C-alpha cells in the first residue's frame, strides 16, 4: 500500500508548475485593443543572426548552426547570404507593404555590421535583442552570472550603435533558464518573445518586476515551415492567410488577436521565395481587418 504522502504534490493546481503567471483561457479574458484598433495585429519578426563558424554545443547547439566538418564554409556562407543579400530583399518587401517590422538581432550584428542597425532604425524598424551571437544559447545549467553577462553584452552592443537600449528580447530557440525572466527585467527588458503558448501577449511576474510575453509562434516561422517541413514559400503564404482568416473570425467573437510572421533573411530572402513573401505582405496590407505592428507595440497593449 502506498504511503499517502506519495500522492501529495505541493504544486498540484490549475495551470503550470511555476508562479510566473496564472492560467487563463483566451476566450474568457477582457479584450485587448491594438494602437490601430484593428481586429488582428500582425508583427513581422525578422531574425538577424550571426553564426560563428565553429558552433558551441554548450548548453546546446543553436538551430540552423554549422553542420559539417569545420570550417563549414557551405553553411557559413549560406547564412551570411542573409546579411549580404536576403535582408535587403525583405526590407524592400516591407517597404512595398508600408510595414514596420521587429528585427531580432544578435549583438554581433551591431559589432560587425553597424551600418545594418543604422539602416533599420532609419527605416523606422524596431530592434529586439537576440543574444550575443548564435553561440549565445541559454538553458538551465549555465551559471547565473554567465547568463547575466550574456544578456548585458548583447544589449550593450546594440545600444552602442542604436543609441538606445532595446526593450525587447528573444532568446535563441526561445530557450530560457529558470533565471531568465528575472534577469531580463533586471537588465531593463520590458518584454520577451520566447513563450509561444497564446495568440495574445500577457504579463508575467518576476522577483524583479513584471515582464510582458509576446508569443511569436514558432509554427508560423519560415524556419519551421520551409526549413524543417520543406514546404514552399507559396505554401507558407497560404498558411499565414489561413491563420489570418481564422483569427479574424475569433476576433469578431472574442476580441482582437495577434498574428506573428517570423522570417529569416537567408531562408525567405532567396530569389525564388521573396516574391511569395512580398505578395503575402501586400495581400495583408489590403485587408481591412489587420494592421502591422512592432512587437513593442503589441507588448504595450498588454501592459
pLDDT one-digit tens code per residue, 142-197:
999 999 999 999 999 999 999 999 999 999 999 999 999 999 999 999 999 999 99
Q: What is the mean pLDDT of the chain?
A: 95
Banded pLDDT at 6 (limits 50, 70, 90)? confident
The answer to whether residue 18 sits within a structural domain is no
User: Has residue 60 been placed in a domain?
Assistant: yes
- Judge whether 13 lies within some domain: no
Gap between the Cα atoms of 260 and 126, Å rounded: 14
| 198 CB neighbour count, 10 Å cutoff | 16
Nearest Cα residue to 135 out of 71, 63, 194, 222: 63
Report long-range pairs for 298-301 (Cβ below 8 Å, ≥24 apart).
298/34, 298/41, 298/43, 298/201, 298/214, 298/258, 299/167, 299/168, 299/190, 299/191, 299/201, 299/212, 299/214, 300/35, 301/32, 301/33, 301/34, 301/35, 301/41, 301/201
Any domain includes 43: yes
In a domain, residue 103? The reply is yes
Site of grid cell 507595440: 297
For the chain, how big is the Rg over CA atoms in Å? 20
Model confidence at 69, in pLDDT bands (50, 70, 90)? confident
- Is residue 172 situated within a structural domain? yes
Rounded Cα gap, residues 255 and 145, in angstroms: 42
Tell me the CA distances in angstroms from 90 to 103, 134, 216, 223, 268, one per residue in order.
Answer: 11, 21, 18, 15, 8
Q: How far apart are CA 302 and CA 96, in angstroms?
A: 29
User: How many Å apart are CA 58 and CA 301, to the nearest integer?
Assistant: 36
Number of domains in the chain: 1
Could you tell me which of 267, 298, 281, 303 has the C-alpha nearest to residue 81? 267
Taking only the tens place, the pLDDT of each residue in 240-296 is 999 999 999 999 999 999 999 999 999 999 999 999 999 999 999 999 999 999 999
Query: Does a structural domain hold residue 7?
Result: no
Q: For residue 185, what are the domain limits?
A: 31-302
For residue 226, how many C-alpha atoms fall within 13 Å in the half-sphere facing its CB? 26
Whichever domain contains 254, its CATH number is 3.20.20.370
- Given this model, what pLDDT does residue 15 score? 74
Q: Is 259 part of a structural domain of the chain? A: yes
76-113 pLDDT tens trace: 999 999 999 999 999 999 999 999 999 999 999 999 99
Amino acid at each position: 500500500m502506498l504511503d499517502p504522502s506519495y500522492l501529495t504534490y505541493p504544486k498540484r493546481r490549475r495551470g503550470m508548475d511555476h508562479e510566473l503567471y496564472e492560467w487563463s483561457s483566451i476566450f474568457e479574458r477582457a479584450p485587448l485593443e491594438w494602437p490601430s484598433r484593428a481586429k488582428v495585429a500582425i508583427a513581422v519578426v525578422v531574425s538577424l543572426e550571426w553564426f560563428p563558424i565553429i558552433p558551441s554545443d554548450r548548453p546546446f547547439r543553436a538551430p540552423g548552426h554549422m553542420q559539417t566538418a569545420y570550417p563549414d564554409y557551405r553553411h557559413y556562407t549560406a547564412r551570411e547570404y542573409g546579411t549580404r543579400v536576403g535582408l535587403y530583399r525583405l526590407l524592400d518587401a516591407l517597404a512595398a507593404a508600408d510595414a514596420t517590422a521587429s528585427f531580432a538581432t544578435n549583438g554581433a550584428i551591431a559589432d560587425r555590421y553597424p551600418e545594418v542597425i543604422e539602416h533599420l532604425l532609419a527605416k523606422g524598424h524596431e530592434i529586439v535583442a537576440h543574444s550575443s551571437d548564435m553561440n549565445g544559447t541559454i538553458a538551465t545549467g549555465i551559471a547565473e552570472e554567465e547568463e547575466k553577462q550574456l544578456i548585458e553584452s548583447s544589449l550593450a552592443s546594440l545600444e552602442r550603435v542604436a543609441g538606445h537600449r532595446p526593450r525587447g528580447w528573444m532568446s535563441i530557440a526561445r530557450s530560457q533558464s529558470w533565471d531568465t525572466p528575472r534577469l531580463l527585467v533586471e537588465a531593463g527588458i520590458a518584454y520577451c518573445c520566447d513563450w509561444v503558448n497564446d495568440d495574445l501577449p500577457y504579463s508575467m511576474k518576476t522577483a524583479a518586476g513584471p515582464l510582458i510575453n509576446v508569443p511569436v509562434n514558432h509554427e508560423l516561422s519560415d524556419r519551421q515551415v520551409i526549413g524543417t517541413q520543406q514546404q514552399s514559400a507559396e505554401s507558407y503564404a497560404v498558411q499565414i492567410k489561413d491563420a489570418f482568416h481564422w483569427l479574424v473570425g475569433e476576433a469578431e467573437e472574442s476580441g482582437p488577436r495577434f498574428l506573428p510572421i517570423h522570417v529569416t533573411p537567408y531562408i525567405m530572402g532567396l530569389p525564388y521565395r521573396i516574391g511569395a513573401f512580398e505578395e503575402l505582405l501586400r495581400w495583408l496590407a489590403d485587408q481591412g481587418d489587420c494592421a502591422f505592428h512592432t512587437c513593442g507595440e503589441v507588448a504595450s497593449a498588454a501592459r
